Structure 1
């Protein structure tokens, strides 16, 4: 068995893993990066957030072209070229993975392709695709092993039953598609396939879609997307799926009629990959695949760190990147901690929903009194001109301290604008700080300032609030 000795080994080449490896190399460490796939980028870049956004862009552009007929511009019927669409998705991913490979070479990060398992607190065994096993000894290690889709055991083994990875391959455009799970992944894929012509049913065990998202935003989204779905079956369980010549017959509880589908998407969540690493050999334990860490991302073994999906929710690439930087800096002897006040989230559906921090429901559950500022985009000239007057910006401020505790937006570019709300929350801004910051006009971003003004009762772009305006 071949043996290599490294100062730092990173397990996993996703956003968190390669960010940790590159940061450690920039700080002068000798770094090896172990990744089971040929390319870096992990699920997010190769079979997740990046290819899905490429397809969402195409689907949104097609639907926007159709909506423009109401504004005086008419196009012919759209023609769908699946091969060209697949090529666009592939080229988008290849451009980014190629850039990562080049940056790894520039930093002299040694790449090792294979599956890693611990053989001790300072040793990994790495098995390549040919079954050959090599040993890698390390002084320090960062676990960035990510997560995998949950597969429902009662579903038939059939290529027409896919997870998010299979759905992004665009095997074909079905006439009818069943999405199992009403979370972000399921609804993003529903948006893509609906935009390309499929009729969609969604089955969700809980009582609502997009759990954890501000209910005002979800309500607006559901109203805007009623045309996509034949059925949204909430508080419902998929009981069985049987293969039939014309597709799959799915049966549900709660009184819903069986239906036949050409394609079924499993989007029932993801589980961390911690249990795949033989953690016990390194003296570590996991809780359902999750690994406990402190604010410096250290595990119970002080020379082993963990970041990203394997350390807990939310399973988001941008969280993993920041944790990777902290772990790398601590491994290199620098002082760093991961202590964010908030971690933003975006659902790249149509229209886009973005949120961060506290929601109304969470505030009520925690007994926190808040003042809410809402600005409907129906009062925004830019939103009306863009056909986005359905949108909304919402901010929540602590009634006790006045500080911003969270916010949410729905509409075009919501995710791009959310950064201002994140920064304001981290800096402890209040409604006056945000409302008196001059925002450019006419923009969608100025709705953040206007929502803060609404919370103060000083917004002149909305009707007056009687109890704040005594002289009428």
Structure 2
């Protein structure tokens, strides 16, 4: 195969990689993207999108089950059933539509997509192993966007009944008993979904509370909902391995061993960057722990070699990778850009959902900033009452001296859809007065943002 040359080579077509390639193509940059699997990366193929599809199906099934009993709405329905294999087929159809869409967008932008596995020869030359042989590519600029994979515990290796989130989204039938190791967002999203589908779910978390990356106040409504769903929760508990007969997960709490019967054990204890197996080790690039070290322009320690997304560390979020990818494309085009984001929203699609944007009270205190805060509970929201979901709240945190909004956090049904307004408020350097004077549509959950700001100013209207 003849050698190829390009101005920009992107390794990995996940959210960061494909956005980088598409934007570069739009800017007239000769771009090649290398990906050995379907475009879209973990998020589109085995993460964000398919998990939300399964969560949606679980929510619909739970509603149907709820309506078989006496309820306030007066709805009566027959006992529902679910053909889970059909649900998975529907989920796979969504993924196929989206991966096809990404391929179309790359083509529309004039980006060449080479399917294969990349291997660095040096900082400017890459060999790609394809189905037709080895293709060598010389590039002026390289972007490493190879993503991450689930962390495997040595005493709970993946295989058989021990699964990662990838396998959890490919199950053809609902396990009767599911043990989840890790009470973070991935474990709880999938654990709650399977609990709604009828599985007996047990969650094991080593920390003292679930969703340890969030403020404890945000996790309380989720913990309450777990109990309502019949999920057994073990905090301050460590997984140790499987029993000799392979039928139970062994855990330890307060020095005592507990056996948890499980048909499947879902291990969700974090993700690690994909940085091995493609010659990167021989380039002696500067690292930041297990991640590639980058500057404010996503430049690595090697000239004209960039890194974006999960390989660069936390927060390991698709939308962060997308923003980095778009910025790098602009830089390669010669435009002046720098990574200076005031906030990156984090969303947990549990039930209820959790949104965290900007600083927490603890973050502000650690930075020596004196703050004031306002909180509005959904129990006082007419819209929440009329949808039977009154759990949760919105909280606004602002500087005490000039009322600049530093953080907005919330928990509640479908509150993920409010994350855009939360992020925009902070990105635009809004003050409490800005939020308080913004007229929100009534009745909507969005009114909680205005009410929280009014509360921080000392004159809440509806609480």
Normalization by structure 1: what TM-score? Answer: 0.93
Q: Would the alpha carbon gap of residues 258 and 365 (structure 1) be closer, same or farther in structure 2, given more than 3 Å must change?
A: farther
Q: Which moved more, 1:432-441 or 1:354-363?
A: 354-363
Q: Which residue of 1 aligns with 2:12?
A: 12
Q: Distance in 2 between matches of 1:42 and 1:287?
A: 23
Q: Distance in 2 between matches of 1:360 and 1:129?
A: 54
Match of 1:97 among 90, 96, 99: 99
Q: Distance in 2 between matches of 1:277 and 1:73?
A: 57
Please tell me whether the aligned partners of residues 180 and 202 of structure 1 are also in contact (alpha carbons under 8 angstroms): yes
Counterpart secondary structure, 2:243: strand
Q: Distance in 2 between matches of 1:286 and 1:126?
A: 24
Task: Report Cα offsets for 1:42-86 as digits up to 9, x if no partner.
Answer: 000000000000011111122233445332112211211012101
Counterpart secondary structure, 2:319: helix
Q: Which moved more, 1:214-223 or 1:381-390?
A: 214-223
Aligned pairs for 1:216-295 within 5 A: 216-242=217-243, 244=245, 247-254=247-254, 255-295=256-296
Please tell me whether the aligned partners of residues 121 and 283 of structure 1 are also in contact (alpha carbons under 8 angstroms): no
Q: Which residue of 1 aligns with 2:138?
A: 137
Q: Which residue of 1 aligns with 2:447?
A: 446
Q: Which residue of 2 aligns with 1:177?
A: 178
Q: Distance in 1 between matches of 2:241 and 2:429?
A: 50
Task: Report Cα offsets for 1:270-296 as digits up to 9, x if no partner.
Answer: 001123432244452334441111111
Counterpart secondary structure, 1:433: helix
Q: Which residue of 1 aligns with 2:61?
A: 62
Q: Which residue of 2 aligns with 1:47?
A: 46
Please tell me whether the aligned partners of residues 243 and 249 of structure 1 are also in contact (alpha carbons under 8 angstroms): no
What's the offset of the Cα at 1:156?
A: 5.1
Match of 2:115 among 113, 116, 127: 113
Task: Report Cα offsets for 1:246-303 as digits up to 9, x if no partner.
Answer: x334243432521211010010100011234322444523344411111111111221
Q: Which residue of 2 aligns with 1:299?
A: 300
Q: Distance in 2 between matches of 1:128 and 1:238?
A: 41
Aligned pairs for 1:51-450 within 5 A: 51-68=50-67, 69-128=71-130, 132-155=133-156, 158-242=159-243, 244=245, 247-254=247-254, 255-450=256-451
Q: Distance in 1 between matches of 2:153 and 2:213?
A: 23
Task: Report Cα offsets for 1:335-391 as digits up to 9, x if no partner.
Answer: 111110110011001111111111233334444322110001111111101111122
Q: Would the alpha carbon gap of residues 126 and 229 (structure 1) be closer, same or farther in structure 2, given more than 3 Å must change?
A: farther
What's the offset of the Cα at 1:3?
A: 2.2
**RMSD after superposition:** 1.7
**Off by >6 Å, runs of 4+ in structure 1:** none
Q: Distance in 1 between matches of 2:306 and 2:34?
A: 15
Please tell me whether the aligned partners of residues 186 and 265 of structure 1 are also in contact (alpha carbons under 8 angstroms): yes
Q: Which moved more, 1:330-339 or 1:255-264?
A: 255-264
Q: Distance in 1 between matches of 2:243 and 2:258?
A: 14
Contiguous gaps of at least 5 residues in structure 1: 463-472
Q: Distance in 2 between matches of 1:285 and 1:396?
A: 37
Q: Distance in 1 between matches of 2:344 and 2:245?
A: 44
What's the offset of the Cα at 1:30?
A: 0.8
Counterpart secondary structure, 1:443: coil
Please tell me whether the aligned partners of residues 163 and 265 of structure 2 are also in contact (alpha carbons under 8 angstroms): yes
Normalization by structure 2: what TM-score? Answer: 0.95
Counterpart secondary structure, 1:80: coil
Q: Which moved more, 1:154-163 or 1:175-184?
A: 154-163
Q: Would the alpha carbon gap of residues 221 and 230 (structure 1) be closer, same or farther in structure 2, given more than 3 Å must change?
A: closer
Q: Distance in 1 between matches of 2:334 and 2:57?
A: 45
Q: Distance in 2 between matches of 1:120 and 1:178?
A: 45
What's the offset of the Cα at 1:431?
A: 1.0
Q: Which residue of 2 aligns with 1:470?
A: none
Please tell me whether the aligned partners of residues 12 and 33 of structure 1 are also in contact (alpha carbons under 8 angstroms): yes
Q: Distance in 2 between matches of 1:27 and 1:283?
A: 31
